[in-house]
Structure 1
Amino acid sequence: MKEIKIQILKPQNLKIKHLSFQSLLSNKPLIACWGFFDGIHQGHQALFNNLITIAKTNNYETCIISFNEKPQSVTNEIANQVLLSKEDKIKRINEFGVNYYLEIEFTKELSRTSPQQFIAWLVSCGVKSVIVNPNVRFGHQGQGSVETLKQSSLQVYLCDDVFVGNHDKVSSTLVKQLLQNKDIINANLCLAPNEYYITGKVVHGMKEGRSVGFPTANLMLNANYALPGLATYITLTHVDNKWYQSMTVIMIRNNVPLVETYLLNFNQDLYDKVITVKFLTWLRDNLQFTSLDDLKLQLHKDLENTIAYFKNQ
């Protein structure tokens, strides 16, 4: 597969001064879409697939424009919790066969860019067409809309929202809400054909699981993930190019989220390895135990239920 071309832009590069990235990007006209694209859920996938289809029909090259942080986390100064690490997001975008990926460093100064300035910057980059959601808002205080785009020189294509089951439209916000509610199955429907997963380095923990015969991998996460609600889940864990059945608990300790995973039929040293944990379904809510014997008994029940789950799959 041809690798995507990645360019990281500083905010000052968006100031409109006859700036052109034609030589940097392509001599062909570009069709572009933009957004933070957290999670690459089904709505994002529909947008990217339409982008590719329109590009082939019109002999365009494709460009996805994103930001280093979610704009709302900068303007509202809230924690930038994500469904995918930046590296995984770019990797997933690359799977669609897009020609170019531009990542803009989002700042409060940049948030004051008017819709017209942003459109002028797109045109200066060689963008001839854009594809957006019908309800798109962009520019300072969301003043730009589809009508704003249609009043410009850009050719505008629309991509409808995607709905899954009885839920509202698929969005990163919906996926995060489902995860927080421990509804892994419906969250994964929104993310299909992929499942929600996290990646991290295995570090030393309290070793409580080891003391009752269930040694767990304690993860130092490689992104500020929007984690599922506090509970124990049935998961798959990827180690050294192989997937293992596993159980994963998410808890809070010292006001910090803690993720620990127990791999079935595994007895190798995991310390310092980077592993990926894929969430399949909720197993049980977290419980308080008065003794290690009670904890051990519950973990054996969890193990039986996990083995039964995979047999039924």
Structure 2
Amino acid sequence: MDIIEEEIKKKYNHDIYVALGSFDGLHLGHMKLIDTAIKLAKENNGKSMVYTFKNHPLGVINKKLAPKLLMDNSTKIEVLKNKGVDILRFICFDKKFMEISPEDFVLNIIKQYNIKGIVVGFNFRFGHKNSGDVELLKEFSKKYNFKLFVVNAVEYNNEVVSSSRIRKAISQYGNVEEAKEMLPHPYFLEGKVVRGRQIGRKMGFPTINLDYNEDFVIPKNGVYFTAVLYHNKFYKGITNIGYNPTVEGKRLNIETHILDFNKEIYGERIRLYFLSRLRDEKKFQSIEELSLTIKKDKEYVKSQNINC
């Protein structure tokens, strides 16, 4: 897969079929657009392209409205490469890009990349102040001689799949199982392992603490069955997200007990996949009661399979 991150002077000679969108999370709806572009390219002996942003546009337009992210760029590249996309055009959305008119936006991409077909979602908006829509794109397709393919909404459980729906499922309800069905893989956080207060170790349940990136969606406080990816191997985990009320914690922690694991991995990076929600975080009457509950969580997790 060719990855284009800067403006290039050469013109592509291949006929290109491009999927346009922000694509945070690469959920089922996004993948339907991308699958359509790949299919069209193959049918017409062309190349498929995904044209998307390195950053979320709202982070530039209005930081207060910018949502938490579902996927980082390296994962996006990984997923699109495995999908079989030929070209990825990664644009940095900035104030200059924000000022481009809808018509200039279309002209720029069809001339630069020899675009023969554009694939968008039913609610696609583009250009200065989001003034362009699907109807305007239809007019441009006739004027500039490219084919337009508009993909309808994809539903899961009788509701439209969207990045905002997935964010809400994860952060407000902790429904990581539902999110998993709409994403290309279970939702995960990635980061460095840092030292915590060592309280779990004293109870016989040593834990690792994740130095998480606050730009990404954090699941609702509670206890989760997780899969820890460390050095290309998966381990079962029990992850607590919260403030550890039983031991009077003050900062939001993402703390994981890894089953059948006894290595010191401080300073190393892991991925933490959220597979299912076990229970709410609660304040126990004693350390003994907390310890007993963790033992029950551990027995349950032992009986489960990792499916990432």
* CA contact 1:239–1:275 (8 Å) conserved in 2: yes
Determine the structure 1 residue equivalent to 2:293: 298
* CA contact 1:85–1:223 (8 Å) conserved in 2: no
- 2:230 is the counterpart of 1:239: yes
* CA contact 2:102–2:132 (8 Å) conserved in 1: yes
Q: Deviations over 1:8-64 (max 9, x none)?
A: 13xxx5xxxxx8541xxx321211122221111111111111110000111221211
* CA–CA separation in structure 1 for the residues paired with 2:279 and 2:104: 51
Q: Deviations over 1:118-170 (max 9, x none)?
A: 0111122122210111221111222111221222212111222211113x211
- 2:205 is the counterpart of 1:214: yes
- 2:121 is the counterpart of 1:133: yes
SS at match of 1:151: helix
1:114 is aligned, of 101, 111, 132, to: 101
Alignment of 1:135-214 (within 5 A): 135-152=123-140, 153=144, 154-166=146-158, 168-180=159-171, 181-192=173-184, 194-214=185-205
* CA contact 2:49–2:85 (8 Å) conserved in 1: yes
Q: Deviations over 1:209-229 (max 9, x none)?
A: 111111111112357221110
Determine the structure 2 residue equivalent to 1:6: 3
So what's the TM-score if we normalise by structure 2? 0.89
* CA contact 1:31–1:63 (8 Å) conserved in 2: yes
Bigger CA drift: 291-300 or 84-93?
A: 291-300
Bigger CA drift: 40-49 or 216-225?
A: 216-225
* CA–CA separation in structure 2 for the residues paired with 1:21 and 1:128: 17
Q: Deviations over 1:159-189 (max 9, x none)?
A: 22211113x2111111111112111111111
* CA–CA separation in structure 2 for the residues paired with 1:96 and 1:241: 20
* CA–CA separation in structure 2 for the residues paired with 1:20 and 1:35: 23
Determine the structure 2 residue equivalent to 1:226: 217
SS at match of 2:49: strand
Matched to 1:72, the amino acid is: L
* CA–CA separation in structure 1 for the residues paired with 2:91 and 2:45: 26
Determine the structure 2 residue equivalent to 1:16: none
Alignment of 1:23-172 (within 5 A): 26-78=12-64, 79-125=66-112, 126-152=114-140, 153=144, 154-166=146-158, 168-172=159-163
Q: Kindly state the Cα deviation for residue 90 of structure 1 after the two structures are TM-superposed.
A: 1.1
Matched to 2:85, the amino acid is: V
* CA–CA separation in structure 1 for the residues paired with 2:291 and 2:279: 15
* CA contact 2:227–2:273 (8 Å) conserved in 1: yes
* CA contact 1:82–1:223 (8 Å) conserved in 2: no
* CA–CA separation in structure 2 for the residues paired with 1:224 and 1:235: 21
- 2:283 is the counterpart of 1:288: yes
* CA contact 1:69–1:80 (8 Å) conserved in 2: no
Q: Kindly state the Cα deviation for residue 252 of structure 1 after the two structures are TM-superposed.
A: 4.6
Matched to 2:152, the amino acid is: D
Q: Kindly state the Cα deviation for residue 71 of structure 1 after the two structures are TM-superposed.
A: 0.8
Q: Kindly state the Cα deviation for residue 115 of structure 1 after the two structures are TM-superposed.
A: 0.6
Q: Kindly state the Cα deviation for residue 256 of structure 1 after the two structures are TM-superposed.
A: 5.5
Matched to 2:43, the amino acid is: T
Matched to 1:258, the amino acid is: N
So what's the TM-score if we normalise by structure 1? 0.87
SS at match of 2:263: coil
Matched to 2:280, the amino acid is: D
Instruction: Give the % identical residues.
Output: 31
* CA contact 1:21–1:124 (8 Å) conserved in 2: no
Runs of 4+ in 1 over 2 A off after TM superposition: 221-224, 252-258, 289-295, 304-311
SS at match of 1:224: coil
2:261 is aligned, of 262, 266, 271, to: 266
